[in-house]
Copies of this chain bind each other. A is one copy, B any other.
Amino acid sequence: MPANKKLLILPGDGIGPEVMREVRRIIDWMDRRRSVTFEVKEGIVGGAALDATGSPCPDETVAAASEADAVLFGSVGGPKWDSLPFDQRPELGILRLRKDLGLFANLRPAVVLDPLADASALRPELVKGLDIMIVRETTGGIYFGEPRGIHVNEQGKRVGIDTEVYSEDEIARVARVAFDIARKRSRKLTSVEKANVMQSGRLWRAVVGEVGKAEYPDVELQHMYADNCAMQLASRPKQFDVILGGNLFGDVLSDLAAALTGSLGMLPSATLGAMQPSGKRHALYEPIHGSAPDIAGKGIANPCAQILSFAMLLRLSFGMDEDAQLIETAVEKVLAGGLRTADIMSPGRARVGTTVMGEAVLRELEKLSA
């Protein structure tokens, strides 16, 4: 079988390397049992890269990421590097990758696996079976627009300024990502802005509507104000399937939706670039949790979000829906069996560490594919 699936693995710092180890074992297992061969490279990023090369994202890492079909990212940062100047922060590692690879669409699933329905702050019947995908624009909007800064006006007073800017092309390309995903799910998309009080919101609503009408007439499009969306998420989250938002509203609403699941240690994410003429698109997958330096090296980190990030990678970058589903089912079965890492522990369950959790997932994979 040809090794046509180029994968770059960037474990990073903190718990990154230890949770990534459990993914490596799944990759090895797939290699042996599922006859899927990945061409895996490992690279350095974040504090690890700073220590080794002086840069949080060395050129070789960017080059390797650019060549790869998909990047599986761990997490970066930790107290060791906290006092470094701003241009040497480990976090710049991921920021440079996003920028250099043109990753503009952040995909944030908010999924409640049945065994964890009681981890949510919401009543279980309101979140059981929850499966939302939030698509957030990540390279434009108010976090990047110019002019921005703090200046002193004629009265000698400080004034802080940020600019929200969205062009129709920026809106349309991320809208297409969201429509494509909606088409593969329940064909229902909710686009979020504040068109009632923001001009960029008015344009957002118009362009998303145009793209939908012209290219996705089969997808039901709903427009919703961002404040109302926050209310709806907090009261009846299961009404949503795919939600699309700009950088700022996508930021707040994706974090809100993640919190509603009650199990942040379980959630993966993806960030996608433009579809190239070759049919390839740059893509980076990572858990939404951070490097958790306080528990790093203790063997107690939850590897599930990293494993589920790999499943997302299989689905979105390689079209391997069946294998992705296999991994997701395996994770759910392990949880249904009662195993829990510390972060998702609840009374009456069995508390285990990173390796035992990873091994349990492997065992379920064996069973499911037997």
Q: How far is the CB of A14 from chain B (nearest CB, A)?
A: 19
For A228, the closest partner residue in chain B by CB is: B255
Bound CA–CA A346/B169 (angstroms): 48
Q: How large is the interface on A (under 10, 10 to 19, 20 to 34, 35 or more residues)?
A: 35 or more
Chain B residues closer than 8 Å to A226, beta-carbon distance:
252
CB closest chain-B residue, reference A193:
B160
Bound Cα distance from A197 to B145, whole angstroms: 11
Which of chain B's residues has its CB closest to A195's CB? B160
Chain A, interface SS category: helix
A204 at interface (Cβ–Cβ under 8 A)?
yes
Q: For the complex, is A158 an interface residue (Cβ under 8 Å from B)?
A: yes
A336 interface hit (Cβ, 8 Å): no
Of the listed stretches A25-33, A44-52, A257-265, chain B binds A257-265
Is A275 interfacial (CB 8 A cutoff)? no
Q: Is A63 an interface residue (CB 8 A)?
A: no
Distance in angstroms between the alpha carbons of A164 and B164 in the assembled complex = 8
User: Which chain B positions have C-beta within 8 A of A234?
Assistant: 121, 233-234, 256, 259-260
Among candidates B199, B207, B233, residue contacting A161 with C-beta atoms closer than 8 Å: B199
**Residues of chain A whose beta carbon lies under 8 Å from any beta carbon of chain B:** 121-123, 126, 142-143, 145, 148-150, 153, 157-169, 194, 197-204, 206-207, 226-228, 230-236, 248-249, 251-253, 255-256, 258-260, 262
Other than the given A160-B199, A161-B163, A164-B164, 15 more pairs (CB < 8 A) read A121-B122, A143-B194, A148-B198, A148-B199, A149-B199, A159-B166, A161-B200, A162-B164, A227-B251, A227-B252, A227-B255, A231-B256, A231-B258, A248-B248, A249-B252
